Amino acid sequence: MKGPLRPVHRIAVPIKGLIQRFAYVGLVAAAFGLMLLGKADVPLAERIRTQVTDALAPILDVLSRPVATVSDVVDQVRELASLHEENAGLREDKVRLLQWQTVARRLEAENKALRALLNFVPGPEASYVTARVIGDTGGAFAHTLLLNAGFRAGVRKGQAVVTGDGLVGRVAGVGNRSTRVILITDLNSHIPVLVERTRTRAILAGDNSEVLRLIRLPPGAEVSPGDRVVTSGHGDAFPPGLPVGVVASVSDAGIGVQPFVERSRLEYVRVVDFGLRGILQPLFPGIPADGP
Protein backbone atom coordinates (compact mmCIF):
# COMPACT_ATOMS: atom_id res chain seq x y z
CA MET A 1 0.00 0.00 0.00
CA LYS A 2 2.93 2.33 0.64
CA GLY A 3 4.28 2.02 -2.88
CA PRO A 4 1.34 3.66 -4.76
CA LEU A 5 1.06 6.48 -2.21
CA ARG A 6 4.64 7.71 -2.62
CA PRO A 7 4.18 9.29 -6.10
CA VAL A 8 1.00 11.05 -4.91
CA HIS A 9 2.84 12.36 -1.85
CA ARG A 10 5.72 13.60 -4.00
CA ILE A 11 3.30 15.54 -6.21
CA ALA A 12 1.09 16.88 -3.39
CA VAL A 13 3.92 18.37 -1.29
CA PRO A 14 5.25 20.76 -3.98
CA ILE A 15 1.71 21.80 -4.93
CA LYS A 16 0.88 22.53 -1.28
CA GLY A 17 4.07 24.58 -0.87
CA LEU A 18 3.31 26.53 -4.06
CA ILE A 19 -0.22 27.35 -2.88
CA GLN A 20 1.04 28.55 0.50
CA ARG A 21 3.72 30.67 -1.17
CA PHE A 22 1.32 32.54 -3.44
CA ALA A 23 -1.63 32.78 -1.01
CA TYR A 24 -0.12 35.80 0.76
CA VAL A 25 0.60 37.53 -2.57
CA GLY A 26 -2.98 36.86 -3.68
CA LEU A 27 -4.42 38.34 -0.51
CA VAL A 28 -2.28 41.47 -0.89
CA ALA A 29 -3.37 41.84 -4.51
CA ALA A 30 -7.03 41.42 -3.51
CA ALA A 31 -6.63 44.10 -0.84
CA PHE A 32 -5.15 46.56 -3.33
CA GLY A 33 -7.94 45.73 -5.76
CA LEU A 34 -10.59 46.53 -3.15
CA MET A 35 -8.80 49.81 -2.33
CA LEU A 36 -8.75 50.81 -5.99
CA LEU A 37 -12.42 49.87 -6.34
CA GLY A 38 -13.27 52.02 -3.33
CA LYS A 39 -11.46 55.01 -4.85
CA ALA A 40 -12.87 54.53 -8.34
CA ASP A 41 -16.50 53.87 -7.44
CA VAL A 42 -17.30 55.20 -3.95
CA PRO A 43 -21.09 54.50 -4.08
CA LEU A 44 -20.50 50.92 -5.22
CA ALA A 45 -17.93 50.32 -2.49
CA GLU A 46 -20.28 51.76 0.13
CA ARG A 47 -23.13 49.52 -1.04
CA ILE A 48 -20.86 46.44 -0.93
CA ARG A 49 -19.68 47.39 2.55
CA THR A 50 -23.27 47.84 3.73
CA GLN A 51 -24.36 44.47 2.33
CA VAL A 52 -21.37 42.67 3.91
CA THR A 53 -22.03 44.41 7.23
CA ASP A 54 -25.69 43.39 7.13
CA ALA A 55 -24.69 39.79 6.46
CA LEU A 56 -22.15 39.66 9.30
CA ALA A 57 -24.19 41.61 11.86
CA PRO A 58 -26.28 38.60 13.09
CA ILE A 59 -23.13 36.47 13.43
CA LEU A 60 -21.27 39.17 15.38
CA ASP A 61 -24.36 39.69 17.52
CA VAL A 62 -24.41 36.01 18.52
CA LEU A 63 -20.64 35.85 19.10
CA SER A 64 -20.60 38.97 21.25
CA ARG A 65 -23.22 37.71 23.72
CA PRO A 66 -20.94 35.27 25.65
CA VAL A 67 -18.25 37.95 25.86
CA ALA A 68 -20.77 40.45 27.22
CA THR A 69 -22.00 37.90 29.78
CA VAL A 70 -18.48 37.18 31.07
CA SER A 71 -17.78 40.91 31.24
CA ASP A 72 -20.95 41.45 33.28
CA VAL A 73 -19.96 38.73 35.76
CA VAL A 74 -16.49 40.21 36.23
CA ASP A 75 -17.97 43.68 36.75
CA GLN A 76 -20.39 42.35 39.36
CA VAL A 77 -17.57 40.68 41.32
CA ARG A 78 -15.59 43.91 41.31
CA GLU A 79 -18.62 45.87 42.45
CA LEU A 80 -19.21 43.51 45.38
CA ALA A 81 -15.57 43.79 46.44
CA SER A 82 -15.75 47.57 46.67
CA LEU A 83 -19.36 47.85 47.88
CA HIS A 84 -18.50 49.21 51.34
CA GLU A 85 -16.27 51.94 49.96
CA GLU A 86 -18.79 52.95 47.30
CA ASN A 87 -21.58 53.06 49.89
CA ALA A 88 -19.65 55.61 51.96
CA GLY A 89 -18.96 57.65 48.85
CA LEU A 90 -22.63 57.56 47.86
CA ARG A 91 -23.63 58.98 51.24
CA GLU A 92 -21.30 61.92 50.69
CA ASP A 93 -22.59 62.38 47.16
CA LYS A 94 -26.17 62.38 48.44
CA VAL A 95 -25.45 65.31 50.75
CA ARG A 96 -23.83 67.29 47.94
CA LEU A 97 -26.61 66.46 45.48
CA LEU A 98 -29.29 67.65 47.88
CA GLN A 99 -27.50 70.98 48.06
CA TRP A 100 -27.22 71.18 44.28
CA GLN A 101 -30.87 70.17 43.93
CA THR A 102 -31.93 73.27 45.81
CA VAL A 103 -29.71 75.44 43.61
CA ALA A 104 -30.95 73.72 40.42
CA ARG A 105 -34.61 74.24 41.29
CA ARG A 106 -34.01 77.93 41.91
CA LEU A 107 -32.12 78.31 38.63
CA GLU A 108 -34.81 76.35 36.75
CA ALA A 109 -37.52 78.70 38.00
CA GLU A 110 -35.40 81.71 37.09
CA ASN A 111 -34.66 80.26 33.65
CA LYS A 112 -38.36 79.68 32.93
CA ALA A 113 -39.18 83.25 33.91
CA LEU A 114 -36.43 84.68 31.68
CA ARG A 115 -37.49 82.51 28.72
CA ALA A 116 -41.05 83.74 29.09
CA LEU A 117 -39.82 87.35 29.03
CA LEU A 118 -37.69 86.70 25.92
CA ASN A 119 -40.45 84.74 24.11
CA PHE A 120 -37.94 81.90 23.71
CA VAL A 121 -38.84 79.15 21.20
CA PRO A 122 -37.36 75.76 22.27
CA GLY A 123 -36.01 73.29 19.73
CA PRO A 124 -37.69 70.02 18.80
CA GLU A 125 -37.63 67.11 21.24
CA ALA A 126 -34.87 64.65 20.45
CA SER A 127 -35.68 60.98 19.86
CA TYR A 128 -33.23 58.13 20.27
CA VAL A 129 -32.59 54.44 19.67
CA THR A 130 -30.55 52.36 22.12
CA ALA A 131 -28.23 49.89 20.40
CA ARG A 132 -25.58 47.40 21.45
CA VAL A 133 -22.01 47.44 20.19
CA ILE A 134 -21.44 44.14 18.38
CA GLY A 135 -18.14 44.85 16.70
CA ASP A 136 -15.13 47.14 16.79
CA THR A 137 -14.15 47.36 13.13
CA GLY A 138 -11.46 49.94 13.79
CA GLY A 139 -7.71 49.46 13.87
CA ALA A 140 -4.56 51.48 13.44
CA PHE A 141 -6.02 53.43 10.52
CA ALA A 142 -9.70 53.78 11.47
CA HIS A 143 -11.80 54.09 14.62
CA THR A 144 -15.31 52.79 13.98
CA LEU A 145 -17.93 50.68 15.73
CA LEU A 146 -20.67 48.36 14.53
CA LEU A 147 -24.14 48.49 16.15
CA ASN A 148 -26.97 45.94 16.01
CA ALA A 149 -29.64 48.50 14.96
CA GLY A 150 -30.11 49.94 11.53
CA PHE A 151 -32.51 51.63 9.13
CA ARG A 152 -35.48 49.51 10.29
CA ALA A 153 -35.04 50.79 13.86
CA GLY A 154 -35.07 54.42 12.73
CA VAL A 155 -31.32 55.05 12.55
CA ARG A 156 -30.25 57.54 9.89
CA LYS A 157 -26.90 58.68 8.58
CA GLY A 158 -25.43 61.69 10.39
CA GLN A 159 -27.18 61.14 13.72
CA ALA A 160 -25.20 61.63 16.93
CA VAL A 161 -24.11 58.64 19.00
CA VAL A 162 -23.78 59.29 22.74
CA THR A 163 -23.57 57.64 26.15
CA GLY A 164 -24.22 59.01 29.61
CA ASP A 165 -20.61 60.25 29.69
CA GLY A 166 -20.66 62.21 26.45
CA LEU A 167 -20.33 62.17 22.66
CA VAL A 168 -19.14 58.94 21.04
CA GLY A 169 -19.31 59.83 17.34
CA ARG A 170 -21.77 59.98 14.47
CA VAL A 171 -23.47 57.50 12.16
CA ALA A 172 -21.43 57.08 8.97
CA GLY A 173 -23.26 54.19 7.31
CA VAL A 174 -26.63 52.52 7.81
CA GLY A 175 -27.82 49.08 6.75
CA ASN A 176 -31.20 47.49 7.39
CA ARG A 177 -30.02 45.77 10.57
CA SER A 178 -26.66 47.36 11.36
CA THR A 179 -25.00 50.73 11.71
CA ARG A 180 -21.40 51.84 11.29
CA VAL A 181 -20.31 54.64 13.64
CA ILE A 182 -17.25 56.83 13.11
CA LEU A 183 -15.77 57.71 16.50
CA ILE A 184 -14.61 61.18 17.52
CA THR A 185 -11.06 59.78 17.72
CA ASP A 186 -11.06 58.80 14.03
CA LEU A 187 -8.73 60.67 11.69
CA ASN A 188 -11.70 61.87 9.62
CA SER A 189 -13.57 63.33 12.61
CA HIS A 190 -13.64 67.15 12.90
CA ILE A 191 -16.18 68.59 15.36
CA PRO A 192 -16.98 72.27 16.05
CA VAL A 193 -16.57 72.74 19.81
CA LEU A 194 -16.35 75.33 22.57
CA VAL A 195 -13.99 75.58 25.50
CA GLU A 196 -16.72 75.79 28.13
CA ARG A 197 -14.93 78.12 30.55
CA THR A 198 -13.92 80.81 28.04
CA ARG A 199 -16.52 80.09 25.29
CA THR A 200 -13.65 79.91 22.79
CA ARG A 201 -14.55 78.28 19.48
CA ALA A 202 -12.31 75.61 17.99
CA ILE A 203 -12.27 72.37 16.00
CA LEU A 204 -11.73 69.06 17.75
CA ALA A 205 -9.86 66.69 15.46
CA GLY A 206 -9.14 62.99 15.86
CA ASP A 207 -5.85 61.40 14.81
CA ASN A 208 -6.55 57.67 15.36
CA SER A 209 -5.17 57.83 18.90
CA GLU A 210 -6.93 57.97 22.26
CA VAL A 211 -6.21 61.71 22.67
CA LEU A 212 -7.95 64.36 20.55
CA ARG A 213 -6.39 67.57 19.22
CA LEU A 214 -7.83 71.08 19.59
CA ILE A 215 -7.12 73.09 16.44
CA ARG A 216 -8.26 76.25 14.65
CA LEU A 217 -8.30 78.34 17.83
CA PRO A 218 -8.41 82.14 17.47
CA PRO A 219 -5.17 84.03 18.23
CA GLY A 220 -4.66 84.66 21.92
CA ALA A 221 -7.17 82.02 22.99
CA GLU A 222 -6.88 81.00 26.64
CA VAL A 223 -6.99 77.25 27.25
CA SER A 224 -5.87 75.50 30.42
CA PRO A 225 -5.65 71.84 31.48
CA GLY A 226 -8.92 70.78 33.08
CA ASP A 227 -11.15 72.92 30.83
CA ARG A 228 -14.24 71.07 29.63
CA VAL A 229 -14.86 70.88 25.87
CA VAL A 230 -18.43 70.70 24.53
CA THR A 231 -20.03 70.85 21.09
CA SER A 232 -20.74 74.34 19.80
CA GLY A 233 -23.66 73.54 17.49
CA HIS A 234 -22.03 75.25 14.51
CA GLY A 235 -22.55 73.63 11.13
CA ASP A 236 -25.86 72.14 12.31
CA ALA A 237 -24.17 68.77 12.78
CA PHE A 238 -24.44 68.38 16.57
CA PRO A 239 -26.55 70.33 19.07
CA PRO A 240 -24.70 72.72 21.38
CA GLY A 241 -23.59 71.59 24.80
CA LEU A 242 -22.85 67.88 24.28
CA PRO A 243 -19.86 67.00 26.52
CA VAL A 244 -16.89 65.72 24.55
CA GLY A 245 -13.80 65.77 26.74
CA VAL A 246 -11.44 67.68 29.00
CA VAL A 247 -8.19 69.46 28.12
CA ALA A 248 -5.38 67.14 29.22
CA SER A 249 -2.28 69.02 28.04
CA VAL A 250 -1.29 72.42 26.65
CA SER A 251 2.16 72.72 25.06
CA ASP A 252 4.00 73.98 22.00
CA ALA A 253 3.21 70.67 20.32
CA GLY A 254 -0.53 71.38 20.57
CA ILE A 255 -3.53 71.03 22.86
CA GLY A 256 -4.54 67.51 23.80
CA VAL A 257 -8.09 66.63 24.85
CA GLN A 258 -8.99 63.45 26.71
CA PRO A 259 -12.46 62.25 25.65
CA PHE A 260 -15.02 61.47 28.34
CA VAL A 261 -16.02 58.21 26.64
CA GLU A 262 -13.59 55.29 26.77
CA ARG A 263 -13.72 53.28 23.57
CA SER A 264 -12.80 50.02 25.31
CA ARG A 265 -15.81 50.27 27.68
CA LEU A 266 -18.52 50.84 25.10
CA GLU A 267 -21.33 48.26 25.29
CA TYR A 268 -24.59 50.16 24.81
CA VAL A 269 -24.98 53.53 23.11
CA ARG A 270 -27.79 55.86 22.12
CA VAL A 271 -28.28 56.96 18.53
CA VAL A 272 -29.98 60.34 18.93
CA ASP A 273 -31.96 62.24 16.31
CA PHE A 274 -31.80 65.95 17.14
CA GLY A 275 -33.56 66.90 13.89
CA LEU A 276 -30.33 68.31 12.39
CA ARG A 277 -29.27 67.84 8.80
CA GLY A 278 -26.03 69.80 8.63
CA ILE A 279 -23.83 66.90 7.47
CA LEU A 280 -26.42 65.00 5.46
CA GLN A 281 -25.89 66.64 2.08
CA PRO A 282 -25.38 63.86 -0.51
CA LEU A 283 -21.91 63.53 -1.95
CA PHE A 284 -23.27 62.55 -5.36
CA PRO A 285 -26.51 63.67 -7.02
CA GLY A 286 -29.24 61.06 -7.04
CA ILE A 287 -27.79 59.09 -4.09
CA PRO A 288 -29.82 59.34 -0.85
CA ALA A 289 -27.84 60.60 2.13
CA ASP A 290 -29.73 58.93 4.97
CA GLY A 291 -30.62 55.46 3.82
CA PRO A 292 -29.22 52.36 2.15
Last residue of a domain, one of 66, 98, 118: 118
In a domain, 45, yes or no: no
In a domain, 135, yes or no: yes
pLDDT of residue 68: 65
pLDDT of residue 285: 45
Domain that holds residue 93: 82-118
| Chain CA centroid to CA 57, Å | 17
CB contact at 8 A, 287 and 173: no
Q: How many CB atoms lie within 10 A of CB 277?
A: 13
The structural domain count of the chain equals: 2
CB contact at 8 A, 246 and 257: yes
CB contact at 8 A, 57 and 137: no
In a domain, 21, yes or no: no
pLDDT higher at 240 or 59 = 240
Pair 184, 143 in one domain: yes
Average pLDDT over residues 234-238: 82
- The model's pLDDT over 79-97, given as tens digits with 9 standing for 90+, comes to 777 787 888 888 888 888 8
Distance CA 82, CA 200 (A): 40
In a domain, 199, yes or no: yes
Task: Please classify residue 284 by burial: count the beta carbons closer than 10 Å to its beta carbon, then call 0-12 exposed, 13-18 middle and 19+ buried.
Answer: exposed
| 127-135 and 200-205 beta bridge pairing | unpaired
Taking CA atoms, 29 is separated from 20, 33, 37, in Å, by: 15, 6, 12
Pair 105, 137 in one domain: no
CB contact at 8 A, 185 and 208: yes
pLDDT of residue 152: 92
Predicted confidence band at 1 (pLDDT cuts at 50, 70, 90)?
Answer: very low
Give the CATH number for residue 274: 2.40.10.340
pLDDT higher at 224 or 89 = 224
Pair 102, 180 in one domain: no
Predicted confidence band at 195 (pLDDT cuts at 50, 70, 90)?
Answer: very high
Average pLDDT over residues 37-52: 71
Q: What is the mean pLDDT of the chain?
A: 81
pLDDT higher at 279 or 238 = 238
pLDDT higher at 139 or 291 = 139
In a domain, 100, yes or no: yes
Pair 139, 223 in one domain: yes
In a domain, 273, yes or no: yes
pLDDT of residue 284: 41
